[in-house]
Amino acid sequence: MEFYPNWCVAGVLAHFRISLHLTLSCGFRALHLSHPSSSANKVQQQRVPPLPRQKSFIPPQIPNPFVHEINLSPLTKLKMLLCGLFILPLRIILFMIVLLVSWLVAAIATCCCPERNEKPFNGWRRKVTQSLISTLGRLLFFSMGFHVRVEGKPASPADAPILLVAPHSSFFDAIAVIVSGMPSSVSREENISVPLFGRILRALQPVLVSRADPDSRKNTIDEIKKRATSGDWPQVLIFPEGTCTNHTCLISFKPGAFHPGVAVQPILLKYPNTLDTVTWTWQGYTVEKLLLLTLCQIWTNVTVEFLPVYVPSEDEKKDPFLYAHNVRHTMAQALGLPVTDHTYEDCRLMMTAGELTLPMETGLVEFTKISKKLNLKWDNIRKQLEIFASIAGSCKGGRIGIEEFARHLKLPVSDVLQELFSLFDRNKDGTIDFREYVIGMAILCNPANTEETIKMAFKLFDVDEDESITEVEFSSLLQSSLGVPDLDVSKLFRDMDADNSGKISYGSST
């Protein structure tokens, strides 16, 4: 999405100088202007106070839930060094023994079975999975120094076919699968190929998601529905956030788990430790470093809390997004955490921002909220990020200042340009971040309002109301409204005057 053509931008800018009331959608800001007189030189300027911002676009309480830093004090480093010398070798040996035994048991349980099972395990295969592998899983976490506390009571598959775990903050969250009685889970198809762990995952008969399959989302939802309503399959455990966060909030829940419209049991994961070495985020330590730091702790506490079964209302059964929203609210209240509308797509935008040499956090826009309220797709926002990167000055830390704003529009810095800039600068810090840029572009330059805005700008230029614009009208109004008496608009006018008639009609301008 680009800015309007220069003449249309100029018309919008000129409206800041006139006093006819015009509101540009959603209560974002009011622009005031009056009917033009017969001469553009009579344009009068009238400043207007800003209207209150729409509350739905207020920045989130947690600006970046995808970053995690670990500060190690000298004493902590000394403790970890001692643990690394005396405890770590023993843990690694025990871990590898238990892992190899688990792999062997899983290989036996899945022998002669395809990767994608059409039927649930029965008989000895199910007993091996739910009893033996579950016990080995507990030993695996014990070998890593985990102390697990369970609160609440797990529901039966009949009462809650689907289990929802949040917040999702670590690869160690797999402990929820073990404590829950080895239910199936939703996993990427590539994970099946991971040495040792892939075979153990197969024993759980997961719902596999293929990123290469364009129908993967639909197929995944259909498979979850089938398992949740059949009565034969084990429970399905899902991390509804879809990606890891720093567990300071609950981000948007994906609706896939809520499409079946069946009862769910929320499960809360907490890591009440003085030093957090388990949180794995997009900006933070790698898997290898976190694993090493965790194994060098004396112990790591984790609490798994089973909340009461959530039975959906009729409205929630019909609307999976409403169902997801309400369950998230229930879990957030139990955790005492705020909620934000970030999602996995924000992480993808973070990676794109990094590729464009912007700070990674630049890409955070609360995708769920922005896409829903402004009707924007990810690809569209991705393109806007590329444009934003070309405008933003590196000295602003990935933000647009008034100088970059003026340079991009090829206009001088003036009072009226400052007014337009202030429409984008929602928090009034003197810069435009990417989130403000996306909101401003969608509201001020939304394709849904293009026709109305262009008509408004055309009428402004047509000072003698003959339904056409001459170069004199075009030039005089721009020079007056922008405060630049020597502004040369001849080339711009000729570009719009396709038939060289010396006039521009509304039809030809659009």
| CB crowding 477-489: b at 16 or more within 10 Å, else e | bbbbbbeeeeeeb
The mean pLDDT of 226-242, rounded to a whole number, is 93
More confident residue, 427 or 169: 169
pLDDT tens figures, 121-174: 888 888 888 889 999 999 999 999 999 999 999 999 999 999 999 999 999 999
252 contacts 243 by C-beta, under 8 angstroms: no
In which band, very low, low, confident or very high, does the pLDDT at 375 lie, cut at 50, 70 and 90? confident
pLDDT of residue 445: 66
pLDDT of residue 118: 78
For residue 440, which phi and psi values (nearest 5 degrees)?
-65, -45
Kindly tell me if the per-residue pLDDT of 395 is higher than 90.
Answer: no
Distance CA 79, CA 430 (A): 46
Annotate 293-334 with three-state secondary structure: HHHCCCCEEEEEEECCCECCCHHHHHCHHHHHHHHHHHHHHH
Sorted by where each begins, the domain ranges of the chain are 1-60+342-510, 74-335
Give me the amino acid identity at 272. P
Kindly tell me if the per-residue pLDDT of 489 is higher than 50.
Answer: yes
CA 494 to chain centre: 44
Instruction: Give the lowest-confidence range in 145-154, 300-309, 444-453.
Output: 444-453
pLDDT of residue 24: 30
Residue 380, Cβ neighbours under 10 Å: how many? 16
228 contacts 162 by C-beta, under 8 angstroms: yes
Kindly tell me if the per-residue pLDDT of 487 is higher than 80.
Answer: no
Average pLDDT, the chain: 83
pLDDT of residue 36: 36
Instruction: Give the lowest-confidence range in 182-191, 364-373, 487-496.
Output: 487-496
Q: What share of the chain is helix, strand, coil (3-state, %, to 5)?
A: 50, 10, 40
Give the number of residues written for the chain. 510
Mapped onto helix, strand or coil, the DSSP state of residue 480 is helix
Kindly tell me if the per-residue pLDDT of 346 is higher than 90.
Answer: yes
pLDDT of residue 282: 92
Question: How large is the greatest C-alpha to C-alpha distance in the chain, in angstroms?
Answer: 91
Kindly tell me if the per-residue pLDDT of 6 is higher than 50.
Answer: no
The fold adopted by the segment(s) 1-60+342-510 is Recoverin; domain 1 (1.10.238)
Annotate 236-258 with three-state secondary structure: EEECCCCCCCCCCCECCCCHHHH
Highest mean pLDDT among 39-53, 209-223, 264-278: 264-278
Mapped onto helix, strand or coil, the DSSP state of residue 158 is coil
pLDDT of residue 373: 86
More confident residue, 340 or 496: 340
258 contacts 320 by C-beta, under 8 angstroms: yes
The mean pLDDT of 365-369, rounded to a whole number, is 93
CA distance readout (Å), 428 to 9, 55, 385 = 22, 15, 21
The percent of residues above 90 in pLDDT, for the chain, comes to: 56
pLDDT of residue 50: 43
Kindly tell me if the per-residue pLDDT of 302 is higher than 50.
Answer: yes
Strands (DSSP E) found in 471-510: 503-505
191 contacts 264 by C-beta, under 8 angstroms: no
H or E element: which one contains 166? strand 162-166
In terms of Cβ atoms closer than 10 Å to its own Cβ (0-12, 13-18, 19+), residue 173 is buried
In which band, very low, low, confident or very high, does the pLDDT at 182 lie, cut at 50, 70 and 90? very high
Instruction: Give the lowest-confidence range in 279-293, 358-372, 384-398.
Output: 384-398
pLDDT of residue 508: 57
Long-range Cβ pairs for the range 50-56 (8 Å, 24+): 50/422, 51/27, 52/27, 53/27, 53/28, 53/426, 54/26, 54/27, 54/28, 56/369, 56/373
Rg (CA), the chain: 29
pLDDT of residue 37: 37
Kindly tell me if the per-residue pLDDT of 465 is higher than 90.
Answer: no
Kindly tell me if the per-residue pLDDT of 41 is higher than 80.
Answer: no
pLDDT tens figures, 51-93: 344 555 788 888 899 999 999 999 999 999 999 999 999 999 9
Kindly tell me if the per-residue pLDDT of 344 is higher than 60.
Answer: yes
Bridge pairing between strands 162-166 and 184-188: unpaired
The mean pLDDT of 204-220, rounded to a whole number, is 84
pLDDT of residue 490: 80
